[in-house]
Amino acid sequence: LTNNNIKMKRTSFVYKCRHTNDVLISSDYGLKPVIDQDTNESVPGLVECYSKTIHRSKRSMSDPTDDEGPEVVNHVEDKFHLEECKMCKDTLRDYLTSYCDETLSLLSGKEREDFQKAVPIFTKWLLRKEGLRLFSTINEMKKEKNPSFAFVYRESKDSPAESFVFIRSGLVSAAATCA
């Protein structure tokens, strides 16, 4: 942003995985509480943002100057280099148990208490969500620690955007100044 030739900076935040330190999302996407469509109540411990598909130029791998035309990609998935991870419900249940136990060990005080209360509620919500897809960074999936996932769903076939859901206590924020 410029104002009378003075460059102004705005501060946004990136949210990193508490376990691996990989960047998963930024405050530019407007994280907000997840609202359960059945109860119209907030699901404790979860935050979400919406991400639309975008068109970008597809470049040939053999010749980067060769434009192969547009391709459709999900903006959040593309920007943060997220890769889909296939997981059945039983494996997801085991992952959530392990991930939440490990996350709990990293928390203290009120944040720990709040997370402990939220775990059974958000776990139940995630496990009953139809069409839930999981995404993480390649770096996170290669590490032995439990990576944070983005849980992705589309509320209905007519929804214009997908929802990217994150376990809030699995994220830590860091300032990122943008010119």
Q: Give the angle 106-110-111 at the CA atoms, nearest 5°.
A: 40
Residues with Cβ within 8 Å of residue 73, at least 6 apart in sequence: 53, 54, 56
Q: Which two tokens stand for residue 50?
A: 């919406």
Quick one: 157 exposed, middle or buried, by C-beta within 10 A (0-12, 13-18, 19+)?
exposed
C-alpha of 83 from chain center: 11
Distances (CA, A) of 55 to 52, 63, 73, 75, 146: 10, 20, 6, 9, 32
Q: pTM surpassing 0.85?
A: no
Q: For helices 109-128 and 89-106, what crossing angle results, to 10°?
A: 170
pLDDT-derived band at 2, boundaries 50, 70, 90: very low
What integer pLDDT is reported at residue 145 of this predicted model? 65
pLDDT per residue as tens digits for the range 21-60: 888 898 888 899 999 988 999 999 999 998 877 767 665 5
Instruction: Say which amino acid occupies 54.
Output: I
Name the residue among 10, 45, 41, 51 with its Cα closest to residue 123: 45
How does residue 118 score in pLDDT terms, banded at 50, 70 and 90? very high
Determine phi and psi for 60, rounding to 5 degrees.
Answer: -70, 140
Closest CA to 170 of 94, 100, 93: 100
